[in-house]
Amino acid sequence: MRLQFFRLAFGASGGLGAEINLDEAHRVLEGLYSNGRIQLNWIAPSIALEKTIVKLVLNMALAGGDCLGRGGTVNVHLNTEDAGKSRQIKIAVTIDGDNAGLKENCKELLTGEITLDELTTRTVQPYYTFRLGDLLDAKIDVDESEENRVSICIFIAGNYQNQF
């Protein structure tokens, strides 16, 4: 199941403009966290979205899971609202657990505040997550103000379809 997750989160997953059903994203994410240490709470409609958005959701959840050294819960909430020809999407990943916290430079990587020269093999995944959001003209917001909780959110607005 890990291989399926990584193929969907990082691979081509179809051709240009391909859509992926969120149910598939949920299934592979559940498989990734099936070891029992991390619980998954998934709230999202059963719809297909452009693959870049689905990859973004999976990578936000993966970055969130990395915040849980002792286990806990990764909560994924995705809401969509159609407004004429455009769709607005809000993705919120909240992470709850003992000593939940972002690893070294993760906040700066998720928000694009680090240069390419500073990337390492350990930090490339959160930076990739930032780049996915950037492709959608959206910025990731990270909040660590509550003890034992991290929130990673993004709001995607506009007509993003067929632009990839």
Beta strand pairing call for 140-143 and 149-156: antiparallel
Cβ–Cβ < 8 Å for 61, 33: no
pLDDT value at residue 41: 97
pLDDT value at residue 86: 82
pLDDT value at residue 131: 95
- CATH for 2-156? 3.30.565.10
pLDDT value at residue 163: 42
Task: Give the pTM.
Answer: 0.92
The pLDDT tens digits for 68-124 are: 988 999 999 999 998 777 889 999 999 999 999 998 789 999 999 987 888 888 889
CA dihedral of 35, 38, 44, 46, whole degrees rounded to 10? 0
